[in-house]
Amino acid sequence: MHKLHQRGASGLGIKLGRFWTSVPEALVSKADELGFPLIELPYAFTFSDQMNGLFNAEMRKSTGILQDVLDKQVRLMRFALRSDHVRELFETVSEVIGEPIAVIGSRGQIVYNGSENADADLLAGWPWSPNGKWIKTEGWQAFGVPLMKSSRCTGHVLFFTPRIYLSAIEESLYSQAAELLSFHLNFNYEDYLEQSIQRDFGQLVKRHLRNGMSHESLESYAAKWELTLFEGAYRCVLTVCSSPDPAVRAERLEALKNELLSHALIQALSGTHVVLEEGVLSLFPERDAGGEEERLSMALSSFLSGLKGGE
């Protein structure tokens, strides 16, 4: 029984009547100790009867799984023809698969978390290898599939399932869903990831400015997320928005930050933008090529003139 348990056997069937009239108590105790199922097989049924029953039950189960997977594949194919917002993309795939998902960026950044688990708990065993595998902790388990762009792993998608075993066709469904995500995200995935990094790093900058975090810790997070901002000199720009209404000012500042993130010339400067009470603080790294002040001035002039033209 020890060997069967160690090899991952599901249980042991014992046919009573010929050699034993009941299962020995010592065997039952050992099975209870191991948590290993013992099944009494009726004497009236032959071994072939029992195998046929198990085979038919497995066939019905496999057929049901196959039909379910085929239905989900059809829905995924229909969805592939649509063009949704990134968050709707994640939610739709989760709804089609029928299980919560989470998307982790290549830097360990939580891009999307549709599970009930805290973001910090999702990085158990990080970094992961660029291969599909089970990720199990005391509180949850998920099947992880890499998100590939050409031959480069740009992140992972976690499928949270209570099942302890996946058939080959179920694994292929997860892989197809991951490929669909990779295809749809393609170019804007990294933009979405950068925005999520901007958001989280912005919170850390706020903590630093309010004396809640040391500069060393801030630099450590920047290095972890591959932000080169503090590797050299940088320029700070504060863009203010005057409004007596705090709610209106906060809304306008958030919109201003989004405009900065989407402006082509500002994007080229690789800045980090943080919404503060006073305005939007932008941090732009200096480059060795020179002419940075002129480029920054031109980019800001273009950005601000565009805002004025839109009012």
Q: Where are the domains of the chain?
A: 2-44, 82-187, 228-310
pLDDT in tens, the chain (311 residues): 888 888 778 888 888 877 787 888 888 888 888 888 888 877 777 777 777 777 667 666 666 666 666 666 666 665 554 545 556 778 888 888 889 999 887 767 787 889 999 888 888 777 777 776 888 888 899 999 988 877 778 788 999 998 878 888 788 888 888 888 877 665 454 455 556 666 777 778 888 887 778 888 888 877 776 677 777 888 889 888 877 888 888 888 888 887 887 777 887 787 888 888 888 888 888 876 667 788 888 888 888 877 654 44
**In the prediction, which pLDDT does 187 show?**
43
**In the prediction, which pLDDT does 102 show?**
92
Q: Rounded to an integer, what distance in angstroms lies between the CA atom of residue 220 and that of residue 17?
A: 70
Q: At what angle do helices 47-80 and 86-97 cross, to 10 degrees?
A: 160
Owner of token pair 């469904």: 173
Angle at the Cα of 139 from the Cα atoms of 134 and 143, rounded to 5 degrees:
20
Burial of 179 (0-12, 13-18, 19+ CB in 10 A): middle
Q: In this structure, what token pair is assigned to residue 254? A: 């958030």
**In the prediction, which pLDDT does 289 show?**
60
Dihedral angle computed from the Cα positions of residues 165, 170, 175 and 176, in that order, rounded to the nearest 10 degrees? -170
Q: What is the CATH number of domain 82-187?
A: 3.30.450.40
Separation in Å, CA 292 to CA 116, 183, 233: 45, 36, 11
